[in-house]
Amino acid sequence: MKDYIQYLEEVLGLQKVMIAKDPSTSSAVKAQFFTEQGSFAPAGATLQTPTDIQHYELIFLNILTQAKESIFLPETKELFGKMKAAMKLVNLQVLELDCTVEDRSQLPSELAKICESKVVVVFSSFPKDIGELIFKGPGKWIETYSPAYLIEDAGAKKVVWNDLQKVMKELNV
């Protein structure tokens, strides 16, 4: 975990710069995705065909605005683990990602380049369209408060639980 935090702070500079520049194009990268181990790249590294895209039943996508919001930090990881346990996600293919994004409207198309899911739960400190299951790409998306936000404002836990129950219903859990 310490290496991941160091990676977020030193390599990605999340405390200072949220979106890294692509040196080959001199333009901002639209979105970057990270697992607990580091950058998320699909199995084939570069996707050649739509059949190369990884499929999941559920993706938890946590939008980072600060390094302290990562779902992989010990304090947020513990709460996030309790949330997943309460959902009883047994035998489901689940992917957990942190991401940085320049423009949220580009997030569905950027994620679709590397993977797709029946449902995507977007965690954010400032969710848009909170609690609404909306079709975006091949699946449904719902935005709610992030585990890091819930640590700051425990009163929002009921809102998040209601949103997660909608996801459970959608996945027949």
In which residue are the tokens 């459970």 written? 168
DSSP, collapsed to helix, strand or coil, labels residue 34 as strand
Q: What pLDDT, on the 0 to 100 scale, is given for residue 9?
A: 66
**Bigger pLDDT: 21 vs 32:** 32
Q: How many CB atoms lie within 10 A of CB 29?
A: 14
Question: Contact, 34 vs 97, CB < 8 A?
Answer: yes
Judging by beta carbons within 10 Å of its beta carbon (0-12, 13-18, 19+), is residue 53 exposed, middle or buried? middle
In which residue are the tokens 């585990």 written? 147
> What's the total number of domains in the chain?
1
User: For 86-133, how does the pLDDT look when each residue is reduced to its tens digit (9 = 90+)?
Assistant: 999 988 999 999 998 888 888 888 888 888 899 999 999 988 889 899
pLDDT at 147 over 90: yes
pLDDT at 162 over 50: yes
Distance between CA atoms of 140 and 40, rounded to whole angstroms?
Answer: 21
For the chain, how many helices (H) and strands (E)? 5, 9
Distance between CA atoms of 1 and 38, rounded to whole angstroms?
Answer: 10
Distance between CA atoms of 74 and 103, rounded to whole angstroms?
Answer: 28
Distances (CA, A) of 149 to 64, 65, 78: 11, 11, 13
For residue 37, the domain's CATH number is 3.40.470
Q: Which domain holds residue 35?
A: 2-170
For 150-166, what is the mean pLDDT? 95
Question: Contact, 57 vs 65, CB < 8 A?
Answer: no
Per DSSP, helices labelled H in 13-64 are none
Distance between CA atoms of 115 and 47, rounded to whole angstroms?
Answer: 10
**Bigger pLDDT: 22 vs 163:** 163
Q: How many CB atoms lie within 10 A of CB 129?
A: 12
Distance between CA atoms of 137 and 69, rounded to whole angstroms?
Answer: 26
